[in-house]
């Protein structure tokens, strides 16, 4: 990777001291080392001593949004290089703090506006290192005493630079709070109407330009993902040439809302689509999906893509401009497993496809109550779809029913482990589980037969 790109494993925006604005989060110099974890190729840079912080536009699933209104509208990352280039141009005139390296965090930890449980977004987030305006020598932006924002002369000087925008966008520049110690620190507003830099070519110290952002984004993803999934996600481990189940792999960037629809399904020894169809699993936009024993996340990927297609949005006119509006939202998707290799592969696949799937490590066999409590926090409105596929043998019946009864999903899908037909085709040893499912109002819906015959059941509440 270029030296101008800093890659970190985790950026935790819940770290004390992080400032959450409407458009971006500001990680002050003294907080950076506490908020960044797993810095790749750490050069030991002392942020506090250098007076350099990190600024991160609010992002979710690779889309930029407002923190205070996350469901209003989101936008692709095409505005990110404009933001960087505009600040660079202003920094050359001492009108914005200096911009240093571009930062990419593989995992973004945040909390929803107004409170709620922590969220882990494996798509991560892009940001940049920026000098702390408060400790720099006073900048060149003057203040209008009447408004408290940038004065007319400063705005005129900015408009002489290769920066273009609407009247509203330029009006936002002069708003109070955008100027700190003589420096403009925020040039972002709604993406369809924000300032743009006329010449998106590398300049100054060579920051990436518009199209290059996607190249860099792709380069950040591990190009050995497929090989690692095939190697690490076998079951039993190391005993088969293919992974346990199908997985969705994206190799090239594609700018579409919510997810990258343009990858391909890589086949394992277990079929995702066929099993989903057989058990009647079909989530709708906005519905929550939980897969316990998720492995590499195939069912969650399947559901996310189904919801993303329906939620892909339509073009509408807003203030005379064509803007994409979502016609649905993608519900919470949560995967739970205990095998580190499975979770690592699942997160990498979600990151490459820009799917906001929250993967958690929980030993549900040892303490199913932990998973139940976690899901109540993550999905306070209740789980719509709970998948417990081939979990009967691995966790035992007592934890299985503790999960079914504790989560109380609107739709629960259970797949047994492989069974042996007895007299008349009846499954040997499955009478207890069938009786327990029947007692909960569930029913047998058929068999999956992609590897060995397994019984499929569904409980609807």
Q: Per-residue pLDDT tens for 138-160?
A: 999 999 999 888 999 999 999 99
More confident residue, 76 or 227: 227
Short-list 253, 254, 255, 229, CA closest to 242: 229
Q: How many CB atoms lie within 10 A of CB 138?
A: 10
Whether 207 has a pLDDT exceeding 50, the answer reads no
Among 147-161, 223-237, 254-268, 324-338, which range has the highest average pLDDT? 147-161
Report the chain's mean pLDDT, rounded to a whole number: 84
**Interacting residues of 182 by C-beta distance below 8 A, sequence separation 6+:** 94, 133, 138, 139, 140, 141, 142
293 touches 390 (CB < 8 A): yes
Whether 223 has a pLDDT exceeding 70, the answer reads no
67 touches 21 (CB < 8 A): yes
Using CA atoms, how far apart are residues 184 and 90, in angstroms rounded to an integer?
8
Residues facing residue 63 across a β-bridge:
60
Whether 109 has a pLDDT exceeding 60, the answer reads yes
Using CA atoms, how far apart are residues 40 and 43, in angstroms rounded to an integer?
9
Question: What's the mean pLDDT in 50-79?
Answer: 83
Using CA atoms, how far apart are residues 208 and 77, in angstroms rounded to an integer?
13
Tokens of 161: 């630079």
**Interacting residues of 195 by C-beta distance below 8 A, sequence separation 6+:** 82, 86, 163, 164, 165, 169, 170, 173, 187, 189
Three-state secondary structure call for residue 222: coil
Using CA atoms, how far apart are residues 38 and 344, in angstroms rounded to an integer?
14
More confident residue, 210 or 362: 362
pLDDT of res. 257: 40
Which pLDDT band holds residue 222 (cuts at 50, 70, 90)?
low
pLDDT of res. 336: 98
Using CA atoms, how far apart are residues 58 and 80, in angstroms rounded to an integer?
11
Using CA atoms, how far apart are residues 299 and 246, in angstroms rounded to an integer?
9
pLDDT of res. 330: 86
Question: What's the mean pLDDT in 276-299?
Answer: 96
First to last CA, the chain: 51
pTM: 0.77
pLDDT of res. 326: 42
**Lowest pLDDT segment from 85-99, 230-244, 279-293, 396-410:** 230-244
Which pLDDT band holds residue 314 (cuts at 50, 70, 90)?
very low
pLDDT of res. 264: 86
Place of tokens 């993608």: 330
Short-list 142, 128, 61, 114, CA closest to 326: 61
Using CA atoms, how far apart are residues 103 and 33, in angstroms rounded to an integer?
13
Which pLDDT band holds residue 185 (cuts at 50, 70, 90)?
very high
Which pLDDT band holds residue 353 (cuts at 50, 70, 90)?
confident
Which pLDDT band holds residue 58 (cuts at 50, 70, 90)?
very high
Whether 121 has a pLDDT exceeding 60, the answer reads yes
pLDDT of res. 192: 74
Question: What's the mean pLDDT in 2-26?
Answer: 87
Which pLDDT band holds residue 256 (cuts at 50, 70, 90)?
very low
Which pLDDT band holds residue 327 (cuts at 50, 70, 90)?
very low
**Interacting residues of 303 by C-beta distance below 8 A, sequence separation 6+:** 281, 283, 289, 333, 385
Whether 319 has a pLDDT exceeding 50, the answer reads no
User: Per CATH, which fold does 223-460 belong to?
Assistant: Rossmann fold (3.40.50)
pLDDT of res. 414: 97
Question: What's the mean pLDDT in 452-460?
Answer: 92
**Interacting residues of 123 by C-beta distance below 8 A, sequence separation 6+:** 59, 60, 61, 62, 108, 350, 351, 354, 355, 356
Whether 231 has a pLDDT exceeding 60, the answer reads yes
Which pLDDT band holds residue 203 (cuts at 50, 70, 90)?
very low
Whether 258 has a pLDDT exceeding 90, the answer reads no
Among 55-59, 68-72, 408-412, which range has the highest average pLDDT? 408-412
Question: What's the mean pLDDT in 281-287?
Answer: 93
**Interacting residues of 371 by C-beta distance below 8 A, sequence separation 6+:** 292, 336, 362, 364, 403, 406, 407
Question: What's the mean pLDDT in 367-375?
Answer: 96
Question: What's the mean pLDDT in 253-281?
Answer: 77
Question: What's the mean pLDDT in 71-94?
Answer: 85
For the four alpha carbons of 371, 448, 397 and 440, in that order, the dihedral sign comes to positive
CA 392 to chain centre: 30
More confident residue, 135 or 203: 135
Cβ-count burial 315-341 (b if 16+ within 10 Å, e if not): eeeeeeeebbebebebbbbbbbbbbeb
**Lowest pLDDT segment from 103-112, 253-262, 281-290:** 253-262
Using CA atoms, how far apart are residues 72 and 75, in angstroms rounded to an integer?
11
**Lowest pLDDT segment from 70-79, 88-97, 197-206:** 197-206
Percent of the chain with pLDDT over 90: 52
Which pLDDT band holds residue 63 (cuts at 50, 70, 90)?
confident
Taking the C-alpha atoms of 126, 128, 133 and 137 in order, what is their torsion angle to the nearest 10 degrees? -170
For the four alpha carbons of 62, 226, 348 and 345, in that order, the dihedral sign comes to positive
Percent of the chain with pLDDT over 70: 84
pLDDT of res. 328: 54
Using CA atoms, how far apart are residues 315 and 328, in angstroms rounded to an integer?
13
Using CA atoms, how far apart are residues 284 and 290, in angstroms rounded to an integer?
14
Q: Which stretches of 206-256 are assigned E, i.e. beta strand?
A: 247-249
296 touches 345 (CB < 8 A): yes
**Lowest pLDDT segment from 79-93, 99-113, 315-329:** 315-329
What residue ranges of the chain are covered by domains with CATH 3.40.50.150?
223-460
Kind of pairing between the strands at 264-266 and 247-249 = antiparallel
């Amino acid at each position: 990777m270029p030296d101008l790109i800093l890659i970190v494993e985790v950026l935790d925006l819940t770290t004390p001291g992080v400032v959450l604005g409407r458009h971006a989060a500001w990680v002050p110099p003294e907080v950076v080392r506490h908020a960044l974890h797993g810095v790749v190729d750490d050069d030991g840079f002392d942020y506090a001593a250098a007076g350099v912080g990190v600024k991160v536009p609010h992002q979710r699933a690779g889309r930029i949004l407002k923190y205070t209104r996350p469901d209003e509208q989101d936008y692709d990352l095409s505005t990110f290089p404009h933001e960087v280039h505009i600040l660079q141009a202003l920094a050359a005139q001492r009108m914005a703090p200096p911009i240093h390296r571009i930062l990419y965090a593989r995992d973004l930890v945040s909390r929803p506006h107004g409170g709620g449980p922590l969220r882990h977004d494996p798509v991560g987030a892009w940001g940049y290192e920026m000098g702390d305006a408060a400790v720099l020598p006073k900048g060149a932006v003057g203040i209008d005493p009447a408004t408290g924002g940038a004065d007319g002369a400063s705005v005129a000087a900015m408009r002489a630079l290769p920066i273009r925008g609407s009247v509203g966008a330029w009006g936002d520049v002069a708003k109070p709070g955008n100027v700190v110690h003589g420096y403009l620190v925020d040039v972002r507003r709604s993406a369809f109407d924000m300032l743009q830099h006329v010449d998106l070519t590398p300049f100054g110290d060579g920051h990436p330009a518009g199209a290059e952002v996607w190249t860099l984004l792709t380069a950040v993803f591990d190009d050995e993902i497929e090989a690692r999934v095939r190697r690490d996600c076998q079951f039993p481990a190391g005993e088969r040439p293919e992974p346990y189940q199908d997985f969705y792999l994206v190799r090239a960037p594609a700018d579409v809302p919510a997810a990258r629809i343009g990858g391909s399904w890589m086949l394992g020894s277990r079929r995702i689509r066929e099993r989903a169809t057989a058990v009647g699993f079909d989530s709708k936009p906005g519905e929550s999906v939980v897969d316990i024993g998720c492995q590499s996340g195939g069912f969650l990927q399947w559901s996310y893509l189904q919801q993303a297609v329906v939620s892909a949005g339509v073009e509408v006119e807003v203030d005379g401009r064509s803007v994409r509006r979502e016609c649905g939202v993608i519900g919470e998707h949560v995967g739970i497993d205990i095998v580190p290799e499975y979770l690592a592969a699942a997160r990498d696949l979600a990151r490459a496809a820009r799917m906001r799937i929250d993967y958690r490590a929980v030993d549900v066999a040892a303490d199913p109550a932990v998973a139940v409590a976690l899901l109540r926090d993550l999905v306070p409105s209740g789980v719509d779809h709970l998948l417990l596929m081939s979990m009967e043998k691995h966790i035992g019946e007592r934890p299985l029913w503790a999960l079914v009864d504790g989560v109380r999903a609107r739709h629960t899908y259970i797949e047994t482990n492989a069974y042996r037909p007895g007299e008349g085709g009846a499954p040997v040893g499955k009478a207890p589980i069938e009786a327990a499912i029947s007692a909960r109002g569930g029913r047998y819906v058929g068999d999956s037969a992609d590897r060995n015959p397994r019984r499929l059941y569904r409980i609807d509440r």
